[in-house]
Structure 1
Amino acid sequence: MSDLAAVVERERAETAMDALAAEGVYDDSRSVRPYGEGVAVPVTAPPERVDVLEVVETDLPPRNRDLRDLLAARGWTDDELDRAPASWAVVGTCVLVRAREESLPRPDEVGEALLELHGEADTVLLSHGIAGEHREPDVEVLAGLGDTEVVHTEHGTRYALDLAETMFSPGNQAERVRMGEVVAPDERVLDMFAGIGYFTLPMARAGADVTAVEVNPTAYRYLVENAVLNGVEDRVSAFRADCRDVDAAADRVVMGYYDAPDYLDAALDALAPGGTVHLHATTPESDPWAHPVSRLESVAGERGRGVEVGDRRVVKSHAPGVEHVVVDAIVD
């Protein structure tokens, strides 16, 4: 047979594509397209290790990864094409685009073109950023069904969330993966700003015992749901509270919040001697380490504790001239 496709449930499309690629049968030269109530994923041979609904013969067009080509076919001018989104992320069954609405020509056509590019998706969202104490997203539906509740799979960790109510940063993926690699089984971890479980879930899946604290009630609901979804509910103790009000003893403290340096008193009160803190912050690109390191050393010094700074990482650009960074340190 030729032009084979494996049909999978729409909500499993992202995971199935990764599994088919790992088996070596995913055909990335052809597009993914809706098929009945599911999604047709192109394959070079019937899969043997991946569960699918059925394998069918169907014509799937060549995969076009160039948004500019699709928009040019819709009659966009060179000036309009230069203002088209340069990047986006597929989160579950949603395509998430970050762009200034006032600079984005024909937003509805951008949405339709992105759905054409990503047949596994059913909704395109334009993000206007994150705001407020609870870090709530502001998104607009550009195209598709408008269903913003998704299950996103990332290196085996499953995140259920509503992109219209809870934040999700694709640019933090490497850091989420890394946290699942640095913890040891049975290590005690305090995740002070857990959200839906961004760092909690990879660490718990690696065997750590995580105290996860989240003040946003919607994010907290997904945090609890995601612990069950990933089978780690026995290793996650979740609290809907201000992290400064939770008593915990930890070998490792994760501070995944831009204003985390303001919470170092509570972090070091929980951190056992010789423990590790992962301090996130937003800092000037010209001097990214001065403020978080000096603040950490100052708060530790007030407690008569020393600091050994280890790895320092730029996670992503936060804004022009501003970096999102992480400082890892051992505090004696």
Structure 2
Amino acid sequence: MNDDRLAIVVAKPRAQDVIDALQEEGVYDADRSVAEHGADAVAIPVTEAPETVAYREVVQQVGQPRLRTLEDHLRERGWTDEELDTAPGSWAVIGSVVLVDIGDAPRPEEVGAALLTMHGEADTVLARGPISGTHREPDVEVLAGEGDTQTVHREHGIAYGLDLAEVMFSPGNKAERKHMGDTVRKGERVLDMFAGIGYFTLPMAAAGAEAIAIERNPTAFQFLLENAMRNGVQDHVQAYRADNRDVLAEGLDSFGEASTVDRIVMGYYDATEPDDEGGYTYLDPAIDALAPGGIIHVHEATPETLVFERPIERIEAAATAQDRTVEVLDTRRVKGYSEGVAHVVVDARLE
């Protein structure tokens, strides 16, 4: 067997998890494409058989090395240099779906076909539009493939079932989802105020935390329940389909929970916005529900000129109003949110 053309065969749903693990081990061969292998499996190219990843078998992968970039694929399809300047610069594979910001690229269907060629583990390419509405609903368009928008995405040992036409999923938050699973302690009481499909709830519950997850979008809430069961953490997740302001106004103890929690995650970009009465719509009830010495993780879409300064000032103002002191533990820039605006996170302990 030619060692330069090796691939490992794994079940198709495991493809992204396996690719991540192979990259960490340093044996993933990015010069070749992932290819289908039978009805339910894929062959993932490797430079040598991995030591840390389970697989069905090692095979010799035939065929030509893949073209390395989207530009290579589109140039092969006749795109001019001027057209290539408008091609997408990034995209994400979410389960069996490639999600791409198509921008002003001409012939979007050709972009979709090229991305399918590049990612054999995927069967659908979606163009991502804006997120809008009170339930943060996405706008997507099928560019290529089967057109199935439902998938199961796996990362860091967590399986997220979702429908990308119904609920949002941010690939750029991958490290932050892992961080929340790494940072909680077993038995810790945590509150996820904007739980969605379980972005942060699932890794925290899998790490042994006792999670209260609140989500008002009915579709996202249904996936949250399914995902808790899918990951075997349903006994560690108490989910409420509600507006977190209503739940916290009544008090967690009204729902049979302890009145305070050890940690709160506020994963909504506008969670620090002030209200019309000089307070903070979400920060005020969150701080009230946080036990002394508890930790709060606050996400914000912040203008670049105010990065970290503004969210910290808002946390401190809300805390001072409740006679609480703030110790900033960490600040992180997650990704760009829009032009001149960054998605940042502040971790703070409140005494």
TM-score (norm 1): 0.93
Query: Residues 22 and 317 of structure 1: is their aligned pair in 2 closer, same or farther, counting only changes over 3 Å?
Result: closer
Q: Which of the numbers 244, 251, 254 marks the counterpart of 2:265? A: 254
Q: Give 1:70 deviation, angstroms.
A: 0.8
Instruction: Quote the Cα distance in structure 2 between the aligned partners of 1:9 and 1:152.
Output: 13
Look up the equivalent residue of 1:16 and give its one-letter code.
V
Instruction: Quote the Cα distance in structure 2 between the aligned partners of 1:289 and 1:45.
Output: 44
Percent of aligned pairs sharing the same letter: 60
Structure 1 stretches lacking a partner, 5+ long: none
Query: Residues 65 and 203 of structure 1: is their aligned pair in 2 closer, same or farther, counting only changes over 3 Å?
Result: same
Instruction: Quote the Cα distance in structure 2 between the aligned partners of 1:310 and 1:56.
Output: 48
- Residue-by-residue CA offset, 1:104-153 (whole Å, 9 max, x unaligned): 11100000111111111111111012111101111111111111111111
- Aligned partner of 2:278 in structure 1 is none
- Aligned partner of 2:184 in structure 1 is 183
Matches within 5 A, 1:1-332: 1-2=1-2, 3-19=5-21, 26-37=28-39, 38-43=41-46, 50-53=53-56, 55-100=58-103, 103-246=104-247, 247-248=251-252, 249-261=260-272, 262-332=281-351
- Residue-by-residue CA offset, 1:75-104 (whole Å, 9 max, x unaligned): 10111000000111111111110132xx11
Give yes or no for contact 1:42–1:60 (8 Å, CA) kept in 2.
no
- Residue-by-residue CA offset, 1:199-224 (whole Å, 9 max, x unaligned): 11111111111101111111111111
Instruction: Quote the Cα distance in structure 2 between the aligned partners of 1:257 and 1:51.
Output: 37
**Structure holding more strand per residue:** 1
Query: Residues 143 and 251 of structure 1: is their aligned pair in 2 closer, same or farther, counting only changes over 3 Å?
Result: same
Look up the equivalent residue of 2:8 and give its one-letter code.
A
Q: Give 1:244 deviation, angstroms.
A: 1.6
SS of residue in 2 equivalent to 1:130: coil
Look up the equivalent residue of 2:230 and give its one-letter code.
L
Look up the equivalent residue of 1:217 and give its one-letter code.
P
- Residue-by-residue CA offset, 1:251-274 (whole Å, 9 max, x unaligned): 111000011113011101210011
Query: Residues 93 and 290 of structure 1: is their aligned pair in 2 closer, same or farther, counting only changes over 3 Å?
Result: same
Instruction: Quote the Cα distance in structure 2 between the aligned partners of 1:203 and 1:16.
Output: 22
- RMSD across aligned positions (CA): 2.0
Look up the equivalent residue of 2:82 and give its one-letter code.
D
SS of residue in 2 equivalent to 1:201: helix
Instruction: Quote the Cα distance in structure 1 between the aligned partners of 2:105 and 2:47.
Output: 38
Instruction: Quote the Cα distance in structure 2 between the aligned partners of 1:229 and 1:158.
Output: 7
Q: Give 1:41 deviation, angstroms.
A: 2.1
Query: Residues 80 and 24 of structure 1: is their aligned pair in 2 closer, same or farther, counting only changes over 3 Å?
Result: closer
- Residue-by-residue CA offset, 1:31-86 (whole Å, 9 max, x unaligned): 11123313222345667875545554441321322111110111101110000001
Q: Give 1:16 deviation, angstroms.
A: 3.3
Query: Residues 40 and 211 of structure 1: is their aligned pair in 2 closer, same or farther, counting only changes over 3 Å?
Result: same
Q: Give 1:154 deviation, angstroms.
A: 1.1
Look up the equivalent residue of 2:148 and give its one-letter code.
D
TM-score (norm 2): 0.88
Q: Give 1:10 deviation, angstroms.
A: 2.4
Q: Give 1:309 deviation, angstroms.
A: 2.2
Give yes or no for contact 1:32–1:60 (8 Å, CA) kept in 2.
no
Structure 2 stretches lacking a partner, 5+ long: 253-259, 273-280
Give yes or no for contact 1:315–1:323 (8 Å, CA) kept in 2.
yes
Look up the equivalent residue of 1:192 and give its one-letter code.
M
